[in-house]
Every structure is written in C-alpha cells, then in structure tokens.
C-alpha cells in the first residue's frame, strides 16, 4: 500500500481534521495507507478512532515576538507569531519533522496549516498536497503574500523571514535560495476548502475553492427553533455561557472542545444534548435552525451554506475576520466573547428571536446552493492518484 502522512501543525479547531477524516474511507479503499501527525492527539483520536496511526506533530518552542502588536497584515504575520523569524526555532521544528518523516516513511505528505512541515518537505524532496481554508492557504502567485489589511504593514518584512528560511534550507544542502516567501509554500496540489464568499483573499485568488467532501449540507426547516453551539474550553466564562444555554426554553445541542466530563454531565442533566465527540456538521445543520460558535472558518462556511443564522464569539484576528465576512451577508452577528452573563443572554435571545436574520440566512444559503462547487474529496483523490502513479 502507498503510505500517506497527514500533517497538522498549527491551529486549534477540529476543522483541520474534518476533511481528512471524511476522506479517510475513500483513500483507504483506493489502496492508500494513512498515518497522522497532529497538533492535538485527543482530537485526532476522537475523530479518527483508536485504530488510526497517530503521531504527535512537532511543537514549536515558546516564542514571543518582541516588536509591537501584530495585526495580521498578511499571512507573513501568522509566520512571525509562531516564530518563523527565529532561525534556531525554525531549524528545530524543521529537523523534528524530518525525523518524523524518517519514522513514518511516507510517499506523499498531506499538509494542513503546517508551514514548517512544508519546509521539511522541500528538504526531503517529498511529494506534497496542501489542504485548508482560504485563510491558511493564501494565494502564492505574487512576490509577497496578498494583504489581509491595507492599513498596516507586516510586523517583520517578508525578506527577513525569507532570509531566515533560506538559511535553514542551506543547512540541509539547498544550494539555490528561494526567491520569494510565497514560493516556499508551493505544493504539487492545493485543495482550498470553503466558500469563495468567505475567502479573505477573494480579490487575489486565481485558483478554485472547493466544497467539503460530500458537499455542503442542504437547507433544512426553519422551525421549530433548535440551537447548535460549538465552543472551545478556552472561551471566557465558559461555564456561565453553558448555564445560559441550558436555561433556554428550546432544544440545544452543544459540542465543547476540551470540555471536562462533569460539564457534559451537567448539560445532560439539564435535558440538553451534549456531544462527547465532534458533531457531524451535515447532520447537525440539517436539524438545528441556529448556530453559536467562535467563528471558525469551516463552521462559518457550513452554517452560511446551510442557510443557518450564526452568532459568533471570535477570540482572535482570524475568527474576527471570518465573522466580518459572514456579517457582510447579513446572515450572522458578531458578539463580544468577553461580555458579562446578562449581556450574553440578552444578545442570545435577540439572535434567536430575529426572524429577519433567519430569512436573510436562508436566502443566502439558497443563493449559494445555486452555485455548486467541486468536491474537495474527489479532487484530493484524483491528485493523490496522479502523484503516486509514477516515481
């Protein structure tokens, strides 16, 4: 069997696993053997099952950028925040990936938000397929990454990040330096998953964007009101938020990433529906009329495509960007993740009672459904068969 290694290096949400988890049966049926190097072992075990061959992905050393506040001017700032500008840090993580490649012995890598793994793939001369959202897979056709914001410059100039990375590549015998930072992240195939309307690089992107494996969920009924909440344990005042949700006089389903068992039991005793493992979004959005989340890219895309009004509590720049794109459709609301309990429940009740918001969300979903997208699962399988058909 042809071995593939899935690499997930950065990011906390389960969206980094959802595409490969959905694709796994088709890949194995096609004769591929999968191993997984992941940022979150527990999440991978929950989504992939106990029988999956799972490794811990290399962990970046602690790093604090010593300049001013980084405002995500472009994807270069994502690299700066993790420590790409520190040659020793980048070399350590790159070497760790190379050691893992030697252990796993893959024929092809599938990388989701794994920049150091991509540098290591260049060193190891491995075939590479990258998958991810519009945010994690910026366009690469330009001399520099396209801007996410026009009002600020990247914290560290791209030429400096490029110099650091070329120095690491030179340690491994790469004779010719790479000429641009985006060129470092080219791959044999790229699978961008989501909605073009929620792509922060929509004005710059020339490649197509694809639907999740199996497509987006269909638009379900608008009544009776049923709420699905997908939250993380890092959300401020999580227990208070859960209490408010359990006080609602409507059916509520909750998946809380990183929740302790006592919190799940509390939800069950309050006669709401806790999900102990990541929910199947297609099924959940088929029966739930409203969505509450922290604004992850795949959750935002799935909710918008399904015509579900979406209340978002973003905690960082990427999710704030997702929330702003959803609100442009007038199909969602961005709320303050740090609001007190009274403000939160008042905003939640307004959200659930807003019939105009629900109608706008369903109209947006109907409009998007009229424009089908290629299936990312089909395209990934096609790319992998092509890459492994010849040496």
pLDDT over 90 at 329, yes or no:
no
H or E stretch at 251: none
The answer to whether 249 and 266 are in contact (CB under 8 A) is no
Q: How many other C-beta atoms are found inside a 10 Å radius of the C-beta of residue 305?
A: 25
For residue 66, the model assigns a pLDDT of: 60
Instruction: Report percent pLDDT > 90 for the chain.
Output: 82
Q: In 3D, which of 358, 329, 348 has the Cα closest to residue 220?
A: 358
Q: In 3D, which of 315, 177, 162, 328 has the Cα closest to residue 241?
A: 315
Domains, the chain, with CATH or none: 2-214+374-388 (3.40.50.2000), 227-369 (3.40.50.2000)
Q: How many other C-beta atoms are found inside a 10 Å radius of the C-beta of residue 270?
A: 15
> What digits encode the pLDDT tens for the residues 199-237?
999 999 999 999 999 999 999 888 899 999 999 999 999
Note the pTM of the prediction, 2 decimals. 0.93
Distance, in Å, from the CA atom of 90 to the CA atom of 82, rounded to the nearest integer, reads 9
H or E stretch at 61: none
Distance, in Å, from the CA atom of 234 to the CA atom of 308, rounded to the nearest integer, reads 24
| Contacts of 268 by beta carbon, 8 Å cutoff, 6+ apart | 274
Mean pLDDT, range 320-339, rounded to an integer: 94
| Contacts of 382 by beta carbon, 8 Å cutoff, 6+ apart | none
Mean pLDDT, range 146-158, rounded to an integer: 89
> What digits encode the pLDDT tens for the residues 81-126?
899 989 999 999 999 999 999 999 999 999 999 999 999 999 999 9
> What digits encode the pLDDT tens for the residues 258-310?
888 999 999 999 999 999 888 889 899 999 999 999 999 999 999 999 999 99
> What digits encode the pLDDT tens for the residues 304-313?
999 999 999 9
For residue 173, the model assigns a pLDDT of: 86
> What digits encode the pLDDT tens for the residues 26-76?
999 999 999 999 999 988 998 898 889 999 999 999 876 666 566 789 999
Q: In 3D, which of 185, 198, 225 has the Cα closest to residue 319?
A: 198
The answer to whether 306 and 332 are in contact (CB under 8 A) is no
For residue 67, the model assigns a pLDDT of: 62
């Amino acid at each position: 069997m042809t071995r593939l290694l899935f690499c997930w290096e950065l990011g906390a949400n389960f969206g980094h696993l959802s595409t490969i988890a959905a694709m796994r049966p088709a890949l194995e049926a096609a004769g591929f053997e999968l191993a997984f190097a992941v940022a979150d072992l527990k999440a991978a075990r929950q989504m992939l099952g106990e029988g999956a061959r799972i490794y811990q992905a290399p962990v970046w050393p602690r790093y604090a950028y010593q300049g001013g506040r980084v405002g995500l001017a472009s994807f270069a700032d994502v690299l700066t925040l993790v420590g790409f500008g520190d040659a020793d840090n980048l070399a350590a993580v790159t070497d760790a990936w190379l050691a893992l490649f030697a252990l796993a012995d893959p024929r092809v890598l599938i990388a989701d938000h794994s920049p150091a793994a991509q540098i290591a793939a260049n060193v190891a001369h491995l075939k590479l397929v990258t998958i991810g959202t519009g945010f994690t897979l910026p366009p690469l056709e330009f001399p520099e990454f396209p801007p996410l914001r026009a009002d600020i410059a990247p914290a560290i100039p791209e030429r400096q990040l490029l110099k650091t990375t070329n120095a690491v590549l030179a340690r491994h015998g790469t004779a010719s330096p790479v000429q641009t930072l985006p060129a470092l992240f080219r791959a044999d195939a790229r699978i961008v998953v989501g909605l073009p309307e929620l792509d922060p690089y929509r004005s710059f992107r020339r490649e197509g964007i694809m639907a999740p494996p199996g497509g987006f969920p269909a638009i379900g009924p608008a009544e009776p009101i049923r709420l699905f909440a997908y939250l993380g344990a890092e959300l401020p005042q999580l227990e208070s938020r859960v209490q408010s949700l359990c006080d609602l006089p409507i059916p509520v389903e909750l998946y809380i990433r990183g929740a302790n068992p006592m919190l799940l039991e509390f939800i069950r005793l309050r006669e709401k529906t806790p999900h102990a493992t990541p929910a199947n979004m297609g099924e959940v959005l088929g029966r739930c009329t409203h969505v509450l989340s922290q604004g992850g890219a795949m959750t935002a895309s799935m909710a918008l495509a399904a015509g579900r009004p979406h209340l978002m509590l973003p905690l960082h720049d990427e999710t704030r960007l997702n929330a702003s794109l959803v609100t442009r459709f007038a199909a969602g609301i961005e709320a303050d993740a740090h609001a007190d309990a009274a403000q939160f429940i008042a905003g939640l009740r307004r959200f659930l009672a807003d019939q105009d918001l629900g109608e706008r969300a369903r109209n947006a979903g109907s409009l998007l459904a009229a424009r089908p997208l290629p299936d990312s699962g089909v395209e990934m399988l096609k790319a992998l068969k092509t890459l492994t058909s010849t040496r």
